[in-house]
Structure 1
Amino acid sequence: MAVQGEAGDWWKGAVVYQIYPRSFLDTNGDGIGDLAGIERKLDHIAGLGADAVWLSPIYPTPNRDFGYDISDYVGIAPEMGTLDDFDRLLAAAHARGLKLILDQVLSHTSDQHPWFLESQLSKDNEKSDWYVWAEAKEDGTVPNNWLSAFGGPAWSWHPLRRQYYFHKFLKQQPKLNFHNPDVVAACMDVLRFWLDRGVDGFRLDVANSYVHDPQLADNPPVPREERSFLDWAHAPRLQQHVHDANTPENEWAMREVRKVMDEYEGRFAFGEFSERPEMLGAYTGPEHLHSAYTFAFIEDFMFQPPLFRDYYEKLLAALPDLTPCVTFSNHDVVRPVTRWGGGQGDDALATLALTLLLSLKGTVLMYQGEELGLPEVDLEEKDIHDPVGDLYFPWAKGRDGCRTPMPWAAKGAPWLPIPDYHRERAVDVQAADVGSVLAHARAVVAMRHANPALMGGDISFLDTEGSVLAFTRDGGGEKILCVFNLGKTDEARFALPDGLSIAGDILSLAGAASSGGAVALPPRGAYLARVE
C-alpha cells in the first residue's frame, strides 16, 4: 500500500475498510462475529488494497443498540474475545501494513455503565452531574420538545432521582454531560487507554452531539417547505437539532479530542455528522478533527450527477484545506446497490459505484460487503433485532438489512440470516472469478494507489448533461479525467472541453471509450484517462 504524504498524514486519500464485528466472521460457532474472525480475514482486507480497518464498537454492551450502548469503555465484549485477543489482532494488522481504527461513542453510554448506575442514585453523589438531568415541568411533562433520534421524547423519567434524563437515542443510552470537566477528562482518558495500546485512530460516533444547550431551549421546527420525504417519515427530523446537538460550543469538545490525538504521532480522528453538515467547518481543522463525513451520499436514493457536484462545490467550497471522508455505505443505511438500483443485486451498478467512490477526493470509507456488490437484505419480522426496525416494521425495517453477516462461503448459520442472493456473491465464489465485483474492487483500489492525482489531487467538476458526471483530479504531476454514466438504460456521450486531450487510458468500464474528442459511455459505464 502506497499512501501518499507524510507519515502523520497517512490517512489522506487512504481506503478505510469498515467492519461491523458482530457480522464479520464467527470462529466459535455462536453465530456472532469475533476478534479472532477479524484476524483470520485480515489477508482479505490487505488483498483488497485497504490501508486501514475501522471496527464498529467491540466493547462490553447490553446490546440494546448492538454496541453503541457501551457499558465499559476499556474492555472487550465477551462474545468477541478478550484484550489479549485485541492485542493480537492489532499486531497482526500492523504486520500487514494495516492501520487499526476504533469506534468511540463518547456522547452517551449504556444505562448499565457504572457511571450512570452511580449517577442515578441521588442528586448529590460524586457522579450526579455526569449525565444530563432536568426537573419535570409543573405538570410532570418533559423539560422541552427535544425528540429522540429513535422516536418519541428524548427524556425518560427516573423514579429514584425524580428527574428526567436526556437520551438522544434509546432510553437505555443516557447522554453524558460534557459541561462537566470531569466527564471530559474521563472520556479523554478513554482515548488515551486505546492510543497507549497502539491503535491508530478513532471514528467518533455522533461527533456533533457532545455538547448540549445548558438552558435546554426548545428546538425550532424545520420549515415545511424545506422538509424532504425522509423528514416526513421520521418525526425527529421535523425539528432543527440546534440545542440538543450541533451547538457552536461542540467545537471545543472536538478541540479536546484533537489535543489528545496530538499527544501521539500519526494518529487520525474523524467524526460522523448526520445532522447540519454546514457545521463541518467548526468541527474540523488544524485544531479540531482531522476529517469527517456527512450523510449526503448515504441517504441519497436518486444517484444523479448534481449530488456529487453540489457536495464539493457548495458544502466543501468553504473548506479548501479539508480532506473529507467519502462513503456510500455503512452499518446504518440501506446498501447503495439497493438504494440506487433496487432489487436483489446489480453488479453493473456495484462496479460503477466502486469506481466512482475510489475516484472522488477524500479518504474513502468502504463498508464490508461493498466489495462484493451486496444488496440490502429484505428481512422478515421474526429476524428484526434493530430498535428502529422494531419501531417501524413493516413500513421501514431498520438497519438489520445492511448488517447481515459477510458471506465468506455459501453456508453458515449466523445471528442474522444470509439470503441466497448474498450466498451467490460469497467471497469464495467471487475470488475465482476475474470478472467479479470483488476483482473489480481490487483493481480500482490499486488504480487509486497508483495515481497521485486520485490519492490527493484537487477535484474540479465539468459541465455535463443528463446522467453524465465528469470531473478532473489534478495533483502529483498528473491530471486525470473521470467520466461516468450514472444511467441504467441509455447510452451517453461526453464531449471533451476545449484544452483537454487524452494522453492515455487508465480504466474503461462497460466498454466506455474515447474517440474523436468525445467519450462514449454505455449505461453504467465509466472512463478514466490521463489528460493534458
Structure 2
Amino acid sequence: MTNNDWWRGSVTYQIYPRSFQDSDNDGVGDIKGITQRLDYIADLGVDAIWLSPIFTSPMADMGYDVSDYMDIDPSFGTLADFDAMVARAHELGLKVIIDQVISHSSDQHPFFQESKLSRDNPRADWYVWADPKADGTPPSNWQSIFGGPAWEWSAYRKQYYFHNFLKQQPDLNFHNPAVQDYMLDTMRFWLERGVDGFRLDTVNFYFHDKLLRDDPADFKPESRTAHSTYGMQYHIFSKNQPENLVFLQRMRALLDEYDARTLVGEVGESHHAIEIMGQYTTNHRLHMAYSFEMLSPKFSAKHFRDLVNAFFEDAPDGWPCWAFSNHDVPRHVSRWLSKGADQDALAKQAAALLLSLQGSICLYQGEELGQTDTELSYDELTDPQGLMFWPEDKGRDGCRTPMVWDENAPNAGFSAANTTWLPVKSAQSSRAAAGQLTDENSVHAFYKEMLALRRAETDLRDGDTTFLASEEPVLAFVRGDGLVCVFNLSATSVDFTLPKAADPVLHRNAAIRDGITIALAGSGFVIARLRR
C-alpha cells in the first residue's frame, strides 16, 4: 500500500473515551487515560484508533450534541492532552481518526442560541426552521429517531426547528453555503492538529428536502409494534438528498490537501444502506463507508454473502468498512450466542470472519476480549434511548460500560473512583485483559494471531472475494489468489468439501481430512491455501 492508501484494508480500533481509562479517578474515562493505554492497542496489531466524540458538549447524547467543534470537553481533558495523545499514537505507528458530528449541533451551541432569537439575525438560517401549518401542527410528518415528531416549537421565533435526534440536537441547514464552509473549517482545524481522518456520524443526514415534503409510510409488520415511530416511515425526504453527494466531494477535496488522510462515513439507513455505501464511496467522495447491516442480530451465511456481493456489485470501485460491534448496538457475542454454543469459540470465529472480509475493518473496544453486553437496571441507565423506551428497548448503555483491564483492581482497573459513570459488573470483569494477555488460548491471543495474519497476507487486505457454493450454516469464500475461508455458523458439527485440496493456514475447532474435506465443529473455521 502507498502511504495515501493506508486506510485500504486497514483495521481501526474504536475507543469510547468515557469508558476506556480514567486517569484522574473521577469515574469518567479521559484522553490521558487513552494515552496510557496506547501501547496495548499498538501491541494488538491494528492500524488506527477512532475516538467517539470528545468535543465540548452538554452530554445530552454523550457527546453527539456538540457545543464547540474546536475544543475538548473538560471531562476528557484539554487540547494539550489531545495533542500529546496524537503524538504518542503516531510514535507507535497508529493513525488517529476522530468522530465528526456535523449533521446537527447541541442546542447550547452559540450559533443555535443566536439563530433562535429572531428570523433576521446573522445565524437565522443556519438551522432548519419552518412555519407551522395553518392548524399549528408541524410543517411535515418527519419523525425523530428517538420517537415522536422531528419538529420542536420555538416561542422565540414562532416557528418549528427540525431535529432528527433529540430536541437538544437541532439539525444544521446545509443548504446554506456558510454552514458548509464553517463545518469544513472545523475539520481543517483538526487536520492541522495532525488527525489522520474522520468518522462521519450519520453521513446521509446532512441535507433535507427544501420543500419539506412528507415522508411516505413504510408498511412493515414490525412497525406496528416498534418502540419508536421512526421505523414507520420511508425517509426519502428527511435525509438521503442528492445535494449530499456534492458536499461529500467538497469534503474529500479538503482532505486531499493533506497527505494520507481518510473519511469513513456511517450510513444510518434501513433501506438501501448497501447501495448508499457504494454511492458515497465512488466518484471522489468518501474513502469508505459502513452501515448497520452487519451490526444486526442476523447471523447466517446468506446474510453475510448477500451483503458483500451487493456492495461490490453495486460499487466495484467503492470501498466498505465492516464492523460487528460498536457503541450503538448490543455486542455481537451477546447478539449471536446461540443455545449450545461456546462463547469463546464464537468470539474467535467472529474475529476470523470479520478480519477475512474484503474491505476495511473496525473493532470495538473489548471485542478482542470476547466481551458481552452488561445487564443494567433502569436506575443505572444514562442513555436517553433506554430511558425513553425501557423495557422494550434498554438502550445502548449495555455495550458502553467501562473497559476491563485487571479483574483484581478496583472497577477492573478502569478507575479508582468510588462510583464510575456506568458500573463494572462481574460478568465483564471476569474477561479482563490482564488475565488474557498471558493465556495463549484466550480470545485476545487469537485476535493478535488473526490480525498478524491479515497484515501478512496481501489476499486478506486487498484480494477480491469469490463465494463458494455452500448450504447453511456454512459460509465459504476465496480471497485473492487462493486463500479459502470456511466458517460453520452454528453450534452443530458439519462437513464441507473444498473444490480442490488445500493446506491449513489457521483454524479452530476444525480439521482438513485428505486436503479436501473440512470437519467443522460448532463455531469452527478454517483459513487455508488452495494448492496450485
In 2, are the aligned partners of 1:203 and 1:271 still within 8 Å (CA)?
A: yes
Larger mean CA deviation between 282-291 and 26-35 belongs to 282-291
- 1: CA distance, partners of 2:514 / 2:40: 38
The equivalent residue for 1:420 is 426
Gaps of 5+ in 2: 412-418
In 2, are the aligned partners of 1:345 and 1:421 still within 8 Å (CA)?
A: no
The equivalent residue for 2:495 is 493
Matched, 1:163 2:169: no
Matched, 1:512 2:511: yes
Matched, 1:152 2:148: yes
Which of 26, 33, 43 lines up with 1:37 in the alignment? Answer: 33
Matched, 1:479 2:498: no
Change (3 A) 1:352 1:222: same
The equivalent residue for 1:463 is 469
The equivalent residue for 1:48 is 44
How many equivalent residue pairs? 518
After superposition, the C-alpha distances for 1:388-432 in whole angstroms (9 at most, x for unaligned) are 001111121100000001011223242101111111100111112
The equivalent residue for 1:384 is 381
- 1: CA distance, partners of 2:204 / 2:504: 42
The equivalent residue for 2:6 is 10
In 2, are the aligned partners of 1:250 and 1:283 still within 8 Å (CA)?
A: no
Change (3 A) 1:419 1:512: farther
Matched, 1:449 2:455: yes
- 2: CA distance, partners of 1:345 / 1:396: 26
After superposition, the C-alpha distances for 1:39-68 in whole angstroms (9 at most, x for unaligned) are 000011001101000000001100000000
- 1: CA distance, partners of 2:63 / 2:494: 45
The equivalent residue for 2:235 is 241
- 1: CA distance, partners of 2:245 / 2:312: 18
Change (3 A) 1:367 1:243: same
Q: CA deviation at 1:342?
A: 6.0
The AA in structure 2 aligned to 1:484 is F
Q: How does 1:213-224 map to 2 (within 5 A)?
A: 213-224=209-220
Which of 292, 296, 300 lines up with 2:293 in the alignment? Answer: 296
In 1, are the aligned partners of 2:279 and 2:318 still within 8 Å (CA)?
A: no
Larger mean CA deviation between 404-413 and 162-171 belongs to 404-413
- 2: CA distance, partners of 1:403 / 1:252: 35
The equivalent residue for 1:320 is 316
Q: CA deviation at 1:516?
A: 5.2
The AA in structure 1 aligned to 2:493 is E
- 2: CA distance, partners of 1:229 / 1:367: 29
- 2: CA distance, partners of 1:516 / 1:185: 60
Matched, 1:431 2:437: yes
Q: CA deviation at 1:201?
A: 0.2
| TM-score normalized by the length of structure 1 | 0.95
Structure 1 SS opposite 2:453: helix
Matched, 1:401 2:398: yes
The AA in structure 1 aligned to 2:478 is T
Counting aligned pairs with the same residue, the percent is 48
The AA in structure 1 aligned to 2:496 is F
Q: CA deviation at 1:88?
A: 0.3
Q: CA deviation at 1:233?
A: 4.4
Q: CA deviation at 1:465?
A: 1.1
Q: CA deviation at 1:511?
A: 3.5
- 2: CA distance, partners of 1:105 / 1:37: 23
The equivalent residue for 1:263 is 257
Matched, 1:107 2:103: yes
Q: CA deviation at 1:254?
A: 1.1
Structure 1 SS opposite 2:55: coil
Q: How does 1:312-351 map to 2 (within 5 A)?
A: 312-341=308-337, 346-351=343-348
Q: CA deviation at 1:231?
A: 8.0
In 2, are the aligned partners of 1:46 and 1:96 still within 8 Å (CA)?
A: yes
The AA in structure 2 aligned to 1:364 is I
The AA in structure 1 aligned to 2:279 is A
In 2, are the aligned partners of 1:60 and 1:73 still within 8 Å (CA)?
A: yes
The equivalent residue for 2:416 is none
In 2, are the aligned partners of 1:18 and 1:54 still within 8 Å (CA)?
A: yes
After superposition, the C-alpha distances for 1:87-132 in whole angstroms (9 at most, x for unaligned) are 0000000000000000000100000011101101100000000000
- 2: CA distance, partners of 1:155 / 1:432: 54
Q: CA deviation at 1:228?
A: 4.9
In 2, are the aligned partners of 1:471 and 1:483 still within 8 Å (CA)?
A: yes
Change (3 A) 1:342 1:161: farther
Matched, 1:178 2:174: yes
Which of 182, 193, 196 lines up with 1:197 in the alignment? Answer: 193
- 2: CA distance, partners of 1:237 / 1:415: 31
Q: CA deviation at 1:230?
A: 10
Gaps of 5+ in 1: none
The AA in structure 2 aligned to 1:274 is G
The equivalent residue for 1:354 is 351
| TM-score normalized by the length of structure 2 | 0.95
Structure 2 SS opposite 1:472: strand
The AA in structure 2 aligned to 1:483 is V
Q: CA deviation at 1:187?
A: 0.2
After superposition, the C-alpha distances for 1:142-175 in whole angstroms (9 at most, x for unaligned) are 1111000111100000101110000000000000
- 1: CA distance, partners of 2:445 / 2:17: 23
- 2: CA distance, partners of 1:345 / 1:46: 28
In 1, are the aligned partners of 2:277 and 2:320 still within 8 Å (CA)?
A: no
The AA in structure 1 aligned to 2:510 is G
The AA in structure 1 aligned to 2:174 is F
